[in-house]
Structure 1
Amino acid sequence: MTSPAVESTAVESADAGSAPSVPVVAAAKPKPRLGSLRALWPFVRQHLGLFIAWLIALAVASAATLRLPIAVKHIIDQGFTSSTNVDQAFLALFGVTLVLALASASRFYFVSLLGERVVADLRRKLYSHLISLGAGFHDRTRSGELVSRLSADSELLRNVVSTSMSVALRSTVTFIGGIVMLFVTSPRLASFALLGIPVAVLPIIIGSRRLGKAARASQDRVADANTLASESLGAVRTVQAHARESYESARFGSAVDIAVDTARKRIRAQAWVTAAAITLIFGALVLMLWSGAHDVIAGRLSGGTLGQFVFYALFVGGSVSALAEVWNDLQRSAGGMGRISELLQETSDIVAPAHPRALPAPLHGDIRFDNVVFHYPSRPDLPALDGFDLEVRPGETVALVGPSGAGKSTVFSMLLRFHDAQSGGIRIDGVDLRELDPAELREHIALVPQQPTIFAASAAENIRYGKLDATEAQLQAAAESAEADDFIRELPEGFASELGERGARLSGGQQQRIAIARALLKDAPILLLDEATSALDAQSERAVQNALERLMQGRTTLVIAHRLATVLKADRIVVMDRGRIVAQGTHAELIAQDGLYAELARLQFID
């Protein structure tokens, strides 16, 4: 959930006029590199105890694995001479197997738990970073794309830590130990292994670049499908109201088909690399066995020694094969980490100064816009505010009116410091907003948007979002003042009732009163009110209007006005057009001027 102030990101859309949001990375994406996985180490280092325990268990399991062929050699060469020798040989083999089983179980436990904790920490950091980025980033980014990175890409990294890292290190240790033992067992046969290994590794190196590109493309297509699903499910009422279920299903199906086609290219590349590596590895093993069989026939090797060599050769071959598959997985995971790193490297346009000033206490709510000029990044040639000057006195209610795109919502966004002006300044009680910590600034401003955000939580949690430490008495008093307590108590579990996603269990008027109760509980000296009654029926409008009047008492209030009911009660009306103030005064004064306000008023009366 985001701060109530963050609800106003929605109010920017009316003035920004930007194109539909696009994925985070619209430009050419860099190729995934395994080096990007180094960014995981700080998260692993936070759980150093688990990491060390995993290494110890891995070392014991690897030692037991390398001991198995020696036990087999003794069984073949000496174990069949007497029943006592057989019993001892097989008992030793069982002991080695038991050590291997316990060490392997411990290794699996430690590395799996490490993977869970690392990914949990990564998700926490990524979410905290995303939620702190400015409005500009979220304006140009699809939420479904971000959710995909939090889920699908993070899941890939879980596999890196809990599976790929373990397999890679285990296979490396087994490979090195196996090579050493091959030379100890039979230097001549071991030389064949050295010829086969470089040849087996070659296709892995050649195919890795192509595989990495295919993996990145596959993840991007999955993110596209997730984004589409998130958007359509979030607007399911609109979809159903237009009877577009089949249309949306076809769109999602098409996106899934594209993701599958892209994944098929990755899988095909991975399959060819794996097939080539296994063919070459086990081809070399067959060559070694053929030569070893002739050595046994000629008496140069015992049967047990050849058996020991075969086991070590299988260990080495299996390790190279496992490393080939791990390499493929790492290529995919590098793409996921690269995508996450891109987000973690994003910086907010709005940052707190190194030494922020504090707002005066108590805050009076004197607001001044001084010759403010602001352009949205998506429309650099068209100013949203152009030489905007406005003074709002403490406790005054000022209504902002004007046609769509006049800059009314931009005034709210600038006051909440979702954007900074290109020139000019904005001050509250004489303090420039750029000298303040944005979080402290927003604590002193309450917002009631035209389309309130209702979280999929209880009524109490939704209201308490205005003040997290509010008492039960304060919570109920806010609901009562917002005329929300009656319908809340009629819910099945009262204040503990879940309101559904986006407040699906409430009417529009009830959602507005929840938002008003939230603002009342916050009790901020400055109130931003995006007219909340324009789409309500008469009965709901009256209830909401009464609640708004209580909310506005004693507060400096800026109102984006759509209905004359609010305009008539404002202390002053400011008429905006194309980012400028073209007139201001009372309702009667502006009607007498017969300007833009009079024209807007006549149009509303006609409607």
Structure 2
Amino acid sequence: MKHKGASIFLRVFTYVKNGNNLLLFGLILLMVDVAFNIGIAKVQQSFLDVLNQGDFKRLSFYLIVFSICFLLAMLLTFVGYFFREYSFSMLTRNFQFDTFSMLNKLPYEELKGRHSGDLISRASYDVQDCCRHLKDGLFGIFENALQFAVALTYLCFINFPLAVAVAITGVLIFFCSSIFNPKIRKISSEIYNKESDIKNLIKEMAQGISVVKAYGLQSYFGEKYAKYRRDTYRLYRKSILTNVFMQQLLNIMRESVWIIGVFLICLSAINGEMTVGLVLTFTLLMSQVLWPFVIIADRWRTLNNSYGSAYRALDLAAFGQNSQSEKIEVTNPLLPPAEDIAVLLRNVSFKPDKSVEEPLFESFDLEIRRGEKVAIVGASGSGKSSLLKLITGLYRHDSGLITIFDKQVDGTSEVKDFYSYVPQHNYLFTGTISENISFGAISFDDDHIKRAAEAANADEFISRLEQGYHTPVKEGGATLSGGQKQRIAIARAMLKNAPLLILDEATSSLDRRNAMKIQRLLESLPSEITCIFVTHSPASLSFVDRIVILEKGRIAASGSLEELTQRNLLYQELFDSAEV
């Protein structure tokens, strides 16, 4: 999705949504503030003229009127400021929720291909930075453009030719600043990308700190960090030099015109064409005409500085929308009767790496009946884990049809309700052990959670912990062993009690004793539960109804343990080499 210039901020502005009326009212009240600032010049003119005339009564009257107007203007200014700030807080909130929602909907393949630190930066820091600069920039531009229009109108009644000359100079100031905008936008995008790289590096080092310490990689990460910082500081220097040069150029232009204008207006006063009060008013108004263009140029520069963060945040949201709209081509959907079919793959094609010409699966067919216990085996790289990810919808197949209990796999929650999945590498979230098993599902009480943990042989170690099921879990389950995390993940799947259980090497992190207990659990599953699991352990195959052997993305053989042991050479080779 391409964004150019100011259009990217117009896209962000749509997130105001329900706050449109508040924002509009806040902008209207901003006119009160502008009118008050311009009115000060008229008040000063009146005060000076009355002082010259020595009329104390009129001076007192002006003072009372001005004080009332001042208090009223301050009240309206406060209300307008509140409405503007509140509407932009709604914009930020809506933008953050939408970005997080899109992040949550990104396909597994896309998430796996992006660095987690970059995603975190886009969904949090970039959104906040974009909204903050958008608020400051747009309000500043609107206020100063309005101030210019009112001041210029007033100025034209005093000296029309000079007012036009000042206005033309102001426009020139703005267009001079616009020359720098493309370069500022480019540098801004580069800075945000470099800062994201630094965040990614720090996160990566923190997550892999055990490897960093064990292999003495501190100097490697230190050098890499120093290089990223040098590149970032170089970009910051370019940004500072560009912004300072632009700002000083605009100031020189403004001050030069102001000095010339003051000189000419003073000549008019010397010739008796203006009063002292009118000279002061014209001088103040001339600043009110010239200065807004400097402020507008500065606010426009602010918007361009935040272009990088806005683009990164919108790019994430746009990809989420595009990925959801992708359609899977269904070819030859000749389905058998669905009553006995738990999982169906018909004519499925899939390329995990779109840049590679050869697909992993091509015209792939597989049927698994209800209540069937199926083991998927094969050498490394044969497609076992990819097959499970296709069935669960983590990978989006390129063509063909995949169904679970006659429901098409398309990433919807409706299909997810039918299966429990234990991936090869499990992740525990910050919270308690109980929360990690139940994921906050209110339909499960403590007894349900305990029974699921007992089934997964996790209750034994959980009960020994000081706080039991309420033991806090740190990020990624850092305080638990691999086997403990694996058993909690299995308990999570058992608690869901879905009609389809999918496990990807569920016992790989367990010792022999616990692995045997999990195997006995799978053996004792109710007959109505369908089970699909990937394994490299020959001992896990004794109770299955069918073994499917994969070889380079195709089914090389399928049958019972007895059939394959007696007749299939590929199974015998896998068994003998212990690759199964």
- TM-score, normalised to structure 2, is 0.89
Q: Which amino acid aligns with 1:470?
A: F
From 374, 380, 394, the equivalent of 1:418 is 394
1:236 CA displacement: 3.0
1:326 CA displacement: 0.9
1:227 pairs with 2:200: yes
Structure 1 residues 527, 351: CA separation in 2 closer, same or farther (over 3 Å shift)? Answer: farther
In the TM superposition, what whole-angstrom CA distance separates every residue of 1:454-508 from its partner, at most 9, and x where no partner exists? 1112222211128553334323332232233343344454333321101112221
User: How do 1:122-141 residues align onto structure 2 when only pairs under 5 Å count?
Assistant: 122-141=95-114
Q: Please say if residues 174 and 294 of structure 2, whose CA atoms lie closer than 8 Å, have aligned partners that are also in contact.
A: no
Aligned to 1:301: 274
Q: Please say if residues 430 and 474 of structure 2, whose CA atoms lie closer than 8 Å, have aligned partners that are also in contact.
A: yes
Counterparts of 2:461 and 2:55 in 1: how far apart (Å)? 89
From 513, 537, 557, the equivalent of 2:511 is 537
Q: Please say if residues 396 and 555 of structure 1, whose CA atoms lie closer than 8 Å, have aligned partners that are also in contact.
A: yes
Classify the secondary structure of the residue corresponding to 2:473. coil
Counterparts of 2:219 and 2:479 in 1: how far apart (Å)? 26
Classify the secondary structure of the residue corresponding to 2:114. coil
Q: Please say if residues 466 and 519 of structure 1, whose CA atoms lie closer than 8 Å, have aligned partners that are also in contact.
A: no
1:570 pairs with 2:540: no
1:91 CA displacement: 4.7
1:369 pairs with 2:345: yes
Aligned to 1:392: 368
Aligned to 2:19: 47
The alignment yields a C-alpha RMSD, in angstroms, of: 3.1
Aligned to 1:183: 156
Q: Please say if residues 483 and 547 of structure 1, whose CA atoms lie closer than 8 Å, have aligned partners that are also in contact.
A: no
Classify the secondary structure of the residue corresponding to 2:427. coil
Counterparts of 1:424 and 1:477 in 2: how far apart (Å)? 39
Classify the secondary structure of the residue corresponding to 1:47. helix
Counterparts of 1:543 and 1:296 in 2: how far apart (Å)? 101
Q: Share of identical aligned residues, percent?
A: 25
Aligned to 2:45: 73
Aligned to 2:419: 445
Counterparts of 1:92 and 1:186 in 2: how far apart (Å)? 28
Structure 1 residues 251, 30: CA separation in 2 closer, same or farther (over 3 Å shift)? Answer: farther
Counterparts of 2:2 and 2:403 in 1: how far apart (Å)? 42
In the TM superposition, what whole-angstrom CA distance separates every residue of 1:314-355 from its partner, at most 9, and x where no partner exists? 2222211110111112223344333333333322267689xx
Counterparts of 2:562 and 2:126 in 1: how far apart (Å)? 60
In the TM superposition, what whole-angstrom CA distance separates every residue of 1:517-551 from its partner, at most 9, and x where no partner exists? 21112111111111122233345435554555556
Structure 1 residues 468, 138: CA separation in 2 closer, same or farther (over 3 Å shift)? Answer: farther
Q: Which ranges in structure 2 are unaligned for 5 or more consecutive residues?
A: none
Classify the secondary structure of the residue corresponding to 1:291. helix
1:313 pairs with 2:286: yes
How many residues end up aligned between the 2 structures? 572
Q: Please say if residues 20 and 87 of structure 2, whose CA atoms lie closer than 8 Å, have aligned partners that are also in contact.
A: no
Q: Which amino acid aligns with 1:520?
A: M
Classify the secondary structure of the residue corresponding to 1:559. strand
Aligned to 2:6: 34
Residue range with higher mean Cα deviation, 56-65 or 167-176 = 56-65
1:482 pairs with 2:473: no
Q: Which amino acid aligns with 1:561?
A: T
In the TM superposition, what whole-angstrom CA distance separates every residue of 1:415-449 from its partner, at most 9, and x where no partner exists? 123345445543444x3736x67321122111111
Q: Which amino acid aligns with 2:41?
A: P
Counterparts of 1:473 and 1:368 in 2: how far apart (Å)? 35
Counterparts of 2:82 and 2:414 in 1: how far apart (Å)? 45
Counterparts of 1:177 and 1:146 in 2: how far apart (Å)? 45
1:269 CA displacement: 2.0
1:409 pairs with 2:357: no
In the TM superposition, what whole-angstrom CA distance separates every residue of 1:372-393 from its partner, at most 9, and x where no partner exists? 3322243532331244343322
1:95 CA displacement: 4.3
Counterparts of 2:271 and 2:44 in 1: how far apart (Å)? 22
Structure 1 residues 218, 404: CA separation in 2 closer, same or farther (over 3 Å shift)? Answer: same
Structure 1 residues 470, 427: CA separation in 2 closer, same or farther (over 3 Å shift)? Answer: same
Aligned to 2:474: 500
Q: Please say if residues 228 and 252 of structure 1, whose CA atoms lie closer than 8 Å, have aligned partners that are also in contact.
A: yes
Counterparts of 2:339 and 2:25 in 1: how far apart (Å)? 55
Structure 1 residues 536, 481: CA separation in 2 closer, same or farther (over 3 Å shift)? Answer: closer
Q: Please say if residues 463 and 475 of structure 1, whose CA atoms lie closer than 8 Å, have aligned partners that are also in contact.
A: yes
1:89 CA displacement: 4.5
Structure 1 residues 379, 504: CA separation in 2 closer, same or farther (over 3 Å shift)? Answer: same
Counterparts of 1:326 and 1:140 in 2: how far apart (Å)? 36
Aligned to 1:345: 318
Classify the secondary structure of the residue corresponding to 2:142. helix
Counterparts of 2:383 and 2:280 in 1: how far apart (Å)? 83
From 185, 189, 192, the equivalent of 1:216 is 189
Classify the secondary structure of the residue corresponding to 2:367. strand
